[in-house]
Structure 1
Amino acid sequence: MAKNKVTRDRGQKTGDNFFRKTSKVGIKPSTSGEGSAKKKAFNKSKWRAEKYSFKKKLEKWNDKRTEYIRHGYCKEQNREKNQFDVNKIYEEEERREKGEANEEVIEQESGPKRRRKSFKERMQEERDEKEAKRAEFLRKKAEKEEALRKYHKEKLEKFKKLNKKTKKGQPVMKGRIEYLLEKIQRSVSASAT
Structure 2
Amino acid sequence: MEKRDSFFLSDKNKKKNEKEVKQEYKRKRQEEFNRNRGVEKQNEEKKPFDKKTYRLKKYSKKYKLEQWEEQRKKKLLRNYYKDIKNDPSNGSYKPKGFDEDKVDSNQDVGRYVRHPDLVEKEVPIKKKDSFQKAKEQYNKMKQEKLQQRKELEKAKEERNQKILEYKKKKQDRFKKLSKKNKKGQPVMTGRLELLLEKIQNSK
Which structure has the higher relative contact order (CA within 8 Å, separation 6+)? Answer: 2
TM-score using structure 2 length? 0.35
TM-score using structure 1 length? 0.37
